[in-house]
Amino acid sequence: MRPYELIKAKRDGKKLSPDDIAAFIDGYTKGSVPDYQMSAMLMAVFFRGLDDVELGAWARAMLFSGEVLDLSETPGIKVDKHSTGGVGDKVSLSLAPLAAACGVPVPMISGRGLGHTGGTLDKLESIPGFKVDLPVADYRRLVREVGACLIGQTSTLAPADKKLYALRDVTATVDCIPLIASSIMSKKLAEGIDALVLDVKVGSGAFMKRIEDARTLARTMIAIGREMGKKVTALLTDMDQPLGRTVGNALEVIEAVEMLRGKAPADYTEVTLALTAEMLVLGGKAKDAAEARAKLQRCIDDGSAEKKLRELVKAQGGDPSAIADLGKLPRARHTAPVAAPAGGFVTGIDSEGIGLAAMALGAGRERTDSVIDPAVGFVLEKKVGDAVQAGEPLVTVHYNDAAKLEAVKARVVAAYRIGGERPAPRPLVLERLE
Ligand code: URA
């Protein structure tokens, strides 16, 4: 069928055949299907959805639009983790060395900050010298020799997603579960994994605000992975407040290293251990989560997880002494407290508001060509459930540009909700799906 007929069929709620989907996506990747026809198709998919067969074909076409890496020269079950994105989500920084220290090879292709959410690559680049744009040959070698490698998307892996994502961004078709699921899975399956753990974030700081949507997204991604013969499990985790106490690139690296020393906040430690335990089980290094947890704890206690991070940093061109001595990481020139406007208990923190405030401070990009300031960000002195007195610091702002400070402080105040009663604690891991 011609592109026009396929768009019309989807618009009218008809099913598309796998061959037609493959031809449409191939045509778009190569340029014979123009942006305006793909835009119309994306909007038709937005309203009509894709059934399981269509979704499998759509994801496969995106995956095979480029190179699919084969890492079989590295022995063992290669396992990655993917987060749908949050605020203060520095899990990958501690999870990758932890899993690698326990013998699970971790090939990880990560992203940059997107909207109000931070990105692993931006955080890693705050380590002096760290390179995220290594050639694929180095990525392969480091997965084999070091046990982990974290790089950015290359132009040869899932190129259809690169084009489609940019188009979705300007056609109001990003927040569509089949399109998100195929976008994420095509990139992850291209990186050479055998198994994948998904961290699907739910709450004010996540793309999925409702648990029902997070569950549907997780199930959709698990189904795509299974179709491709990969083992996939998912945890739905809370993103109703930022994870841990830091938001901002170098500040988050510091917290990640502290996690590997057993000294990080309980929420961030728990989410990291829960996800890494899933990786150890999928990777055949533990029979169940309890055994995995015990192994992870040993790697923290004996220092081998931090040692693995230093090894990884060195292998990727970074200065490992900046991990041993965190004072060598970029540090903002000034700090300022944000005072609580009233006393009581913190009943909520709008993570998206905090993420946007961090972006305004320079920790994220306002435009694709913005330059990030790795040193700036927030330390959250109060989190949900904490008692606070009027005038006490809610947050410490780390900043370099005084002109930005007052507006950022106002955003932080607006993101905090303070009430008279301590809220009931929320579970961090809301559900597990496989
Ligand atoms: N992250 C992705 O990689 N793709 C999406 O569509 C949304 C979030």
* 219-245 pLDDT, tens digit each: 999 999 998 999 999 999 999 999 999
pLDDT at 365 over 90: no
Distance between Cα 187 and ligand 1 center (Å): 9
Rounded CA gap, 304 and 283, in Å? 19
pLDDT at 421 over 80: yes
20 is catalytic: no
Distance between Cα 433 and ligand 1 center (Å): 20
Give the H or E element holding residue 276.
Answer: helix 266-282
Average pLDDT over residues 320-342: 97
pLDDT value of position 316: 98
pLDDT value of position 166: 85
Least confident of 47-56, 165-174, 312-321: 165-174
110 is catalytic: no
Residues with CB under 6 A from ligand 1: 174, 179-180, 183-184
Distance between Cα 185 and ligand 1 center (Å): 9
Q: Token pair of 290, please?
A: 């309890």
Question: What is the share, in percent, of the chain residues with pLDDT greater than 70?
Answer: 100
State the pLDDT confidence band at 93, using cuts at 50, 70 and 90: very high
Question: What is the share, in percent, of the chain residues with pLDDT greater than 90?
Answer: 88
72 is catalytic: no
Least confident of 76-85, 155-164, 305-314: 155-164
Q: Token pair of 342, please?
A: 């009233």
Average pLDDT over residues 367-389: 93
Q: Which of 183, 186, 204, 351 is catalytic?
A: 183
Question: Maximum CA pair distance of the chain?
Answer: 67
Distance between Cα 248 and ligand 1 center (Å): 21
Q: Which of 60, 81, 90, 168 is catalytic?
A: 168
398 is catalytic: no
By most ligand atoms within 8 Å of CB, the mutation choice from 84, 168, 224 for ligand 1 is 84
pLDDT at 118 over 80: no
Q: Return the ligand 1 atom nearest residue 111 CA.
A: 3
pLDDT value of position 266: 96
Rounded CA gap, 124 and 330, in Å? 12
183 is catalytic: yes
pLDDT value of position 174: 84
State the pLDDT confidence band at 162, using cuts at 50, 70 and 90: confident
* pLDDT tens digits for range 197-218: 999 999 988 888 899 999 999 9
Q: In what order do the strands lie in the sheet with 393-399?
A: 246-247, 377-380, 393-399, 334-339
By most ligand atoms within 8 Å of CB, the mutation choice from 81, 174, 239 for ligand 1 is 174
pLDDT at 116 over 90: no
Phi-psi region of 85 (alpha: psi -120 to 50; beta: other; left: phi over 0): left
Give the H or E element holding residue 231.
Answer: strand 231-238
Cα–Cα nearest to 257, from 337, 335, 331, 321? 321
Q: Are 60 and 261 in contact (CB under 8 A)?
A: no
By most ligand atoms within 8 Å of CB, the mutation choice from 84, 184, 187 for ligand 1 is 184
Distance between Cα 434 and ligand 1 center (Å): 20
Q: Return the ligand 1 atom nearest residue 187 CA.
A: 3
Q: Return the ligand 1 atom nearest residue 180 CA.
A: 6
Rounded CA gap, 26 and 268, in Å? 41
pLDDT at 366 over 90: no
